[in-house]
Structure 1
């Protein structure tokens, strides 16, 4: 086995894609989950890992060590000089009976870090940023296909509308839907409506879109769904208000020349999440966003000053807003 096949570094924000790729690598060595050694590097020293890595496995030809939360690659690294030196030495000449996998999912790596610089020369680096919608759809279809299940196009679109880009939740819903229809079955739009709860943040965005599009019927429909699930009009008001503010801030950032990656840094989110934030903001006019934020500020004052009941106030506002502007 080549040295670069003994060390893997996974980076990016797509947790499900990274997990699936790591599992395929592990399965290629016919290893079971319980035979893999895992270390949380938030609480484990590099010296402990290196001591294990150079130890010949007992009754096995190969051991697999996975390092989670690799703090030693970040600006907050606390490794000693001796540990760094020992790690660099190991990376140059890894033990051929140890497969080392560094899982840096959602980790902000310090590009000037000595160990990271060495990894770029000796490791297989696999990066998984958040996927675009077309990639996400492909992954969902393949996941169902692996279970011998088909999903209709309109059901696939609705599933993403309900869940968004939350891959962990998508994975859970795929398992649930697969169990429901069984092998050889077909997932239809009706199955999504029956089994999959909606993502409240997506619902808030759709509500805002309905308000700005002056669609009173859809506004009321979405609000009724939200109040059924949350039972709290003040929570809904807060979510609407915060979403409007996010859209307005993003719109202005784009106007000032911010890129998608700049916006990701501004909100401290992944570039994949920033993609959706940017697309949402671009769907509206600046004047519309400013107008409705002013109306929400007026309602906020009336509720907090006791002039209006929170539920009645929000419902009156939702009845009036689509008719205004």
Structure 2
């Protein structure tokens, strides 16, 4: 995120490079930088003749280079943007000659999603020398809640930890989807306020009481009644609560719990770092640690592996997903 801010600030200050090669598994920041360049380098009057958006599936690298070598018309610069440039991956090294001597009056933006250039290759080194190579890496799920907090803080909002956890549980580490949902919430919530679980439930459709986060918490507390209520809700809403995802997240919880049992240093800072969880939620792990001895946790992990295989249709016959979910709970609590 700091690198994104630097790129944007450099452009605002007039330090504009002739090539921006934006690559990586996380498309969110690639789109953000591309959109910023598309919207801000040229004036509206200049864009008509001097801004061009191409798509990787429709052009060749040679055609991209040909457009980039043109001179601007009645403007200091032209902007050439290649979206979905990963479609050019087989011939992308043809950029080498242009990268060695880029047109100084062209801003060439290559949006190369879901893939990366080998940084040892000559083409990569030349782009780095004369332009910008930006790699957008996927965040781990344990990093997403902090990312949500930073994004909201920059827009004068806060979010309750449980609300952030709900978004992560429901949307994973898909930053674009999370950003879209946050934008919806910020439309209806005045700046300076906190996003709460109730607000998410009312406007995004994630139940604050019946979600995988709450199921995991109920299991950790050995609150069987609550766990079975949530399981029943999941059974009635299978599309919103796929069993494969539920089992995977519960499996992740007990895998972390097994790791927690084995830690010599269980101080909050060290435990949160090793388990890759927000320190706010360590209390849930402390409760589960008391409720599930290490041997029991090992047995549960083995059980969850079996349920996971069955949830994917292997060796389960015609067992309904709802029954598999109940079987999972029975074996955890017994």
Name structure 2 gaps, 5 residues minimum: 1-10, 259-272, 278-284, 286-293
Q: Is the 1:303–1:313 Cα contact (8 Å) retained in structure 2? A: no
Q: Once the 2 structures are TM-superposed, how far is the Cα of residue 100 of structure 1 from its aligned partner?
A: 0.6
Pick from 16, 25, 32: which aligns with 1:13? Answer: 25
Distance (whole Å) between structure 1 residues aligned to residue 117 and residue 322 of structure 2: 49
| TM-score, length-scaled by structure 1 | 0.66
Pick from 114, 126, 130: which aligns with 1:118? Answer: 126
Q: Secondary structure at the match of 1:110?
A: coil
Alpha carbon RMSD of aligned pairs, Å? Answer: 4.5
Q: Is the 2:166–2:197 Cα contact (8 Å) retained in structure 1? A: yes
Q: Is the 2:124–2:133 Cα contact (8 Å) retained in structure 1? A: no
Distance (whole Å) between structure 2 residues aligned to residue 157 and residue 243 of structure 1: 12
Q: How many residues align?
A: 283
Equivalent residue for 1:58? 73
| TM-score, length-scaled by structure 2 | 0.65
Distance (whole Å) between structure 1 residues aligned to residue 112 and residue 314 of structure 2: 45
Equivalent residue for 1:217? 225
Equivalent residue for 2:268? none
Q: Is the 1:56–1:97 Cα contact (8 Å) retained in structure 2? A: yes
Q: Is the 2:169–2:212 Cα contact (8 Å) retained in structure 1? A: no
Q: Once the 2 structures are TM-superposed, how far is the Cα of residue 64 of structure 1 from its aligned partner?
A: 1.0
Equivalent residue for 2:288? none
Pick from 146, 158, 169: which aligns with 1:151? Answer: 158
Q: Once the 2 structures are TM-superposed, how far is the Cα of residue 124 of structure 1 from its aligned partner?
A: 1.5
Distance (whole Å) between structure 1 residues aligned to residue 80 and residue 152 of structure 2: 29
Distance (whole Å) between structure 1 residues aligned to residue 248 and residue 196 of structure 2: 34
Distance (whole Å) between structure 1 residues aligned to residue 206 and residue 81 of structure 2: 35
Equivalent residue for 1:44? 59
More relative contact order in 1 or in 2 (CA 8 Å, sep 6+)?
1
Give the 3 Å change call, closer, same or farther, for CA 295–175 of structure 1 in structure 2: closer
Q: Secondary structure at the match of 2:237?
A: helix
Q: Secondary structure at the match of 1:102?
A: strand
Name structure 1 gaps, 5 residues minimum: 253-275
Distance (whole Å) between structure 2 residues aligned to residue 182 and residue 64 of structure 1: 36
